[in-house]
Structure 1
C-alpha cells in the first residue's frame, strides 16, 4: 500500500468537472456494461466475419464452394457493421460521462492515432460494401477483389489496437507522464495480450454465428453449394469456434499475469477464473460437436456452446468493470479532494473579493507568493490539504512544526524521511531548484 501511495503522490492529479451526473452512477455503470457487451458482440462479428471472408475467398480460388461460403459471410459483415455502429453510441456516451478526465486524457495522449479511428473505420466500411456489391462484376479479377477485403481486414485489425491502447491507458494515470504518443502507449503491459484475446473472441463469436446461420431450416444449402452440405458448414463453424476459444484461453492467462496489481482483488480474480471456466466448458462442448458421429448429436451441442460463451461474456464484462473501478479508486479519491479544495477556494474568493484600491501591500504580498502557490498546487496539493489529512498531513500541522524555521521546512522538502507510522514516506523533489523550494516554503509558512 505504501508503494502505491508513493507512486500516486507523483502522479498528475487534474481537477474533475464539478457537475452532477445525469443519471445515478449505478444506472450509468449498468448501461455501460450492458450496452458495451451488445456493441462488442457485433464488433466481433464484423471483424471475425471479415477475417473468415478473406480466408474463405482465398481458398475459393481452388474450391468454388469456399467462394460461395465467403460471399455468404460477406453479406452479413455489412449488417453486423451497422449494428455495431448503432449500439456503440450508448457505451461511448456512458464512458465519457463516468470517466471523463481519464477517457479524454488517454485520447489526448495518443493524439493522431485516436483521431484516425473515424476516417479508418469509414474507409473500411466503404471497402466492405465495395467488396460485397462487386462480387460478380469482379469474378474474373479475383486477386484484385481479394485485395479489397484484405485491406478492409487490415484496417479492422488496426482500429481495435488503437481503442484497446486508449482504454488501457486511461486506467493508469501514473504512466501519463511517460507517454509520448500512441506507440509508447501501445508498449504498456497488457495491451498486446488483450488484443490477441480480442482476436480470439472475434473468431469464437463468428464461429458460433456461422453454425447458427448455416443451420437454419429455411437456408437452401443445396441450391447454393455444389458439394458442401449443411452439416459440413456447421462443422466449419465449430472448427472456427474451437480455434478462437483456444486462442482466448491462452491469451487470457497472459492477460491475468500481466494485469497491473493495483486493480487486482479477490473478487476480480474470482470473476476472471469463473469466466475462464465457462470458456473451457464452451470449448469442451464445441469439441464434442466436432467429434460427434451424426448431425443430430452435433446439433445438441449448439445451445450448450452458446450459453457457455454468453455466460463468459457477461462475467468477463463484469470483471473488467470491477478492475477498472478498483484501479482508478485511489486516484479518483485524490482528484475529488483536489476538486473540492478548488471549489472551496473559488467560493472563498467570490465571497471575499480583494479591492484593487487601497490594498497595494496585500497585492504585493500575494504577488510575491504567487509562484510558491502555483508550485505548491503542482507538486504538493495532491497529497496535502490545508486543514485535513489527505495522503500526507495537513498544511496547518507543518506550520505548527516549522513556524519561524523556513530553512528546516525547506531542508525537509528537499530530503524527506519518514516520521509517522500511519503515513507513507514522502517522496523527494529533485526536479525543484533551490529558488523553487524557497518559494514553496515561503508560501506554506504564510498560510494563516
Structure 2
C-alpha cells in the first residue's frame, strides 16, 4: 500500500512482447556481457594508454607500450558500439516504462550521450593518427587522450545512473535531474566497481595481446621483453581486481534491500569468490619466476569470464526483484484501463446504434445537405465566403418558399461577395430539409 501511495503507477502499453520473455531476458544478459567486455576494453584501454604515455615521458618503452594499446582502442570502441545495439533494444522492450522514465528524468545528461560519444571517438582517432606528428609536442598529445579519457569516464556514469534509477520508481517523484539521480544510493560504488573491471579486463587483454606468437615484440620494443609486458599486464589486472573486490563489497552493502534475495546474495558471493581466485592467481604470477609467467593465465581468464556470467545474472535477478511489485501494480492499472476503454467503446457503439435508430427530422437531414453543398462557403455565425447562416435565417424567417427559390436561382446582393451559384440539382425533399435546417439556426 505504501508503494502504491508514494510511487507513480503508469499504465503499460497493452501490447504483446515480440518474443517470449525468457528469450528476451537471455538475449539481454548475453548481449550485455558481450557489450560490456568491449566497453571495459575501450575505457580501460584509454586509461592505461594515458597512464603509460605519461610514464613514457621518462621511460621511452612505456611510450611505445602506450602507442600499442592506443591502436586497439578504436577497434574495441567500434565493436562496443555494435554490440550495444542488442542490449539496448532488449531492455527497451522488456522495461519500456522504466527505461524511458529514467531517461526523461535525467533529461539533458541523457541527450548529451550522443555528442559526447562522438567527440570522444574523434579524439581517440586524432590521438592515434597524430602519434608521430606530435612527437615533439607530447603535452598536447597527452592532453588529447586526457580529454578522451575524461569523456569516457563520464559517459558510463550517465548510463549507470539511468539503469540504477529505472529500478526505483518510488524515487521518480523526488528526483530532479541527473545530478540529483547521481546521489541515489549505490551509484558511485557500482561506478568504481565498473572502473576496476575496465582496468582488470584491459590488463588480462594486454597479457593475451602481447603473448601472441605472431606479435613481434622484439621488433617493437628495445628493452621490454614479452614477459616484461605480460608482467605489466598481470600487475594492471591485479590493481583492477583489487578495486573490483573492494567496491563490490561496498555495492553489496549499499544495494537497496527491495531487490535483495538469498539467490541474489548467493550469485554475488559466487562472483566474488571467482574474482578473489583471479586476484590470488595474478598475485602469484607477478611474484614468481618469469619462466612460469603464463602458468595461471587460462585460470585467471576463465575466472574473470565466469565472473561476468555471474555478474550479468545477478544484475538481472536484482532488477527483476526490485521491479516485481511495481510491475504487478502497473499490470492492475493497465487491466483497469483496458476494462474502462472497452466499456467506453461499447457504450459509444450503443449510442451510435441508438442515434441511427432514432427518427430523423427534416432539420437533422438538412444538416447533412448543408455540409455537402453549403459548408464550403457558409458558417453558422461568421462570414466565410458568403454571409453566416444566422443572417439567412433572420432574412427568411417564416418564408421557406422564398429561401428555396433563392437557393435554386440566387441573385447578387453584396458587392463584397462573389455571385452564389444556383443549386438546381437539389430535389424538392432536399430543399425542404435544407431550408428547415437553415431556419432553425439562431
TM exceeding 0.5: yes
- Shorter chain as denominator, the TM-score bin is 0.7 to 0.9
1:139 Cα deviation after fit: 0.5
Q: Deviations over 1:200-246 (max 9, x none)?
A: 00000000000001111111111111111110000000000000000
Aligned residue-pair number: 354
1:420-435 residue pairs with structure 2 within 5 A?
none
CA distance in 2: counterparts of 1:138 and 1:294, whole angstroms = 36
Q: Is the 8 Å Cα contact of residues 279 and 312 (structure 1) preserved in structure 2?
A: yes
Q: Which residue of 2 aligns with 1:102?
A: 98
1:306 Cα deviation after fit: 0.2
Q: Which residue of 2 aligns with 1:311?
A: 306
Q: Deviations over 1:117-167 (max 9, x none)?
A: 010000000000000001001101110000000000000000011000000
Does 1:216 pair with 2:212?
A: yes
Give the counterpart of 1:344 among 331, 335, 339.
Answer: 339
Q: Is the 8 Å Cα contact of residues 48 and 203 (structure 1) preserved in structure 2?
A: yes
CA distance in 1: counterparts of 2:43 and 2:353, whole angstroms = 67
1:52-201 residue pairs with structure 2 within 5 A?
52-201=48-197
1:63 Cα deviation after fit: 1.1
1:173 Cα deviation after fit: 0.1
3-state SS in 1 of match to 2:150 = helix
1:8 Cα deviation after fit: 3.6
1:355 Cα deviation after fit: 4.3
Q: Is the 8 Å Cα contact of residues 279 and 309 (structure 1) preserved in structure 2?
A: yes
CA distance in 2: counterparts of 1:26 and 1:284, whole angstroms = 36
Does 1:237 pair with 2:233?
A: yes
Q: Which residue of 2 aligns with 1:204?
A: 200
CA distance in 2: counterparts of 1:220 and 1:358, whole angstroms = 87
Q: Which residue of 2 aligns with 1:292?
A: 288
CA distance in 1: counterparts of 2:290 and 2:43, whole angstroms = 31
Q: Which residue of 2 aligns with 1:400?
A: none
CA distance in 1: counterparts of 2:254 and 2:60, whole angstroms = 44
1:75 Cα deviation after fit: 0.1
1:7 Cα deviation after fit: 3.1
Q: Which runs of 5+ in 1 are unaligned?
A: 360-448
| TM-score, normalised relative to structure 1 | 0.78
Q: Which runs of 5+ in 2 are unaligned?
A: 356-442
CA distance in 2: counterparts of 1:347 and 1:158, whole angstroms = 47
Q: Deviations over 1:1-59 (max 9, x none)?
A: xxxx4134321000001111000000000000000000000000000000000000011
Cα RMSD over matched residues? 1.4
Q: Which residue of 2 aligns with 1:321?
A: 316
3-state SS in 2 of match to 1:177 = coil
3-state SS in 2 of match to 1:178 = coil
Specify whether residues 310 and 357 from structure 1 end up closer, same or farther in structure 2 by C-alpha distance, changes over 3 A only: closer
Does 1:335 pair with 2:330?
A: yes
Q: Deviations over 1:308-331 (max 9, x none)?
A: 011111001100000000100000
1:357 Cα deviation after fit: 12
CA distance in 2: counterparts of 1:255 and 1:323, whole angstroms = 12
1:293 Cα deviation after fit: 0.9
